Amino acid sequence: MVNKATKPTDALIGHDAWNIQLDKNGNLKHFLTTEGLGSDILTNILDTAESFANINEQSVKKVPLLRGKTIVNLFFEASTRTRTTFELAAKRLSADVLNINISTSATSKGETLLDTLQNIQAMHCDMFVVRHSDSGAAHYIANNVAPNISVINAGDGSHAHPTQAMLDMFTIRRNKGADFGKLRVAIVGDILHSRVARSQIHALNTLNTGDVRVIAPKTLLPVDIESMGVNVFHDLQAGIKDADVVIMLRLQKERMKGAMLPSEQEYYQLYGLTEERLLAAKNDAIVMHPGPINRGVEIDSNVADGSRSVILNQVSYGIAVRMAVMTMTLGREKSGDEDTQKNETAGESK
């Protein structure tokens, strides 16, 4: 269905991939990638999430904003944090939530992805939250759903994980303030296979971050990484020197083709974040990780569980950020075109 290349192909995602994310009024319709979206939209997501973070800290956490809406979680790949926080976010907004278990769905009996989508669509849902192992899957789905449905990318191959990136921006803003221009942010590890890193880099640059750095062995960096507007380092301590934020990434062995590293032990010797190495960063630097973490591979337990770690805050903020994205995409004023197309689609399916 969708190409499994490490780098998504233009044929699948398109040179104007981000254009399909906005409706004709410039409002967010789908959220597929942070690439190409303006700082106004990214800042709006962060500001909207701020109000939801306050709700999440109250004893009654539910608001009626998406009452009557139906949100479908379509996860073709394993997830703990993303799937559960999307479900919680939808429930806190009073939406109805369907979790489709792909391993027990008719997709496992040979039904195509499009047939599965069309059948779920016939149940009058409003949003698909999609995770897929193929880069480009979320764009493919957004290009093929009925016009009234919004698609949120919950991670596609090594391409993009935009809500993860935005919860990471939210975590940075809560800890370091809104002026990203003052910040040095270091992203360490398997950049090559990381959809999280790609989405973070686009978001950090759009928010005008002062210095965005990537630190990795050459084998774990895309050849054209400089073109994304980052400074490249191969030495961990040089790369995290005076950093305000250190983001660690997991080695994504499931996406590696062949041996890209001598061993996990050797990787840890060179790139594992220990308390001693963290001394190179600023005294008040925060340590982040999208999870799942591999202790003793990319991060030492003393750092993961230490006072600088905001890893579990990232998970909590994920609910607020996903509530923000859901209300922004589903709360849009529907354009006349969409209503017309929706009625035509409904008529055709009778």
* Site of interaction with ligand CP (CB under 6 A): 79-82, 155, 164, 290-292
- For residues 146 and 245, which CB has a smaller minimum distance to ligand CP in the complex? 245
Write down the least CB distance from residue 236 to ligand CP, Å: 22
DSSP-assigned letter for residue 212: E
Nearest approach in angstroms of CB 340 to ligand CP is: 37
What CA–CA distances, in Å, run from 172 to 249, 263, 277?
A: 16, 32, 21
Angle, CA of 339, 344 and 346, to the nearest 5°? 95
Place of tokens 């975590």: 171
In the complex, the smallest distance separating the C-beta of residue 85 from ligand CP, rounded to whole angstroms, is 8
Q: Amino acid identity, residue 20?
A: I
CA distance 48 to 323: 9
Q: Which is nearer to ligand CP, 73 or 82 (CB)?
A: 82
Residue nearest to ligand CP (CB): 82
Residues tagged active-site:
81-82, 109, 131, 161
Give the closest residue to 146 by CA, choosing from 167, 120, 166: 120
User: What's the CA gap between 295 and 111, in Å, rounded?
Assistant: 39
If the CB atoms of residues 136 and 155 are measured against ligand CP, the closer one turns out to be: 155
At closest approach, how far in Å is the CB of 254 from ligand CP?
11
Question: In sequence order, which ranges of the chain are alpha helices (DSSP H)?
Answer: 10-13, 39-56, 81-92, 113-121, 137-144, 162-176, 195-206, 236-240, 264-271, 275-278, 301-304, 311-330, 336-348
CB of 291 to ligand CP, least distance (A): 5
229 Rama class: left (phi>0) / alpha (psi -120 to 50) / beta: left
In angstroms, the CA 260 to CA 252 distance is 11
CB 171 within 8 A of CB 312: no
Q: Rank residues 262 and 292 by Cβ distance to ligand CP and give the closer one.
A: 292
For residues 222 and 290, which CB has a smaller minimum distance to ligand CP in the complex? 290
CB–CB of 172/245 below 8 Å? yes
User: In terms of CB distance, is 21 or 163 closer to ligand CP?
Assistant: 163
CB of 144 to ligand CP, least distance (A): 24
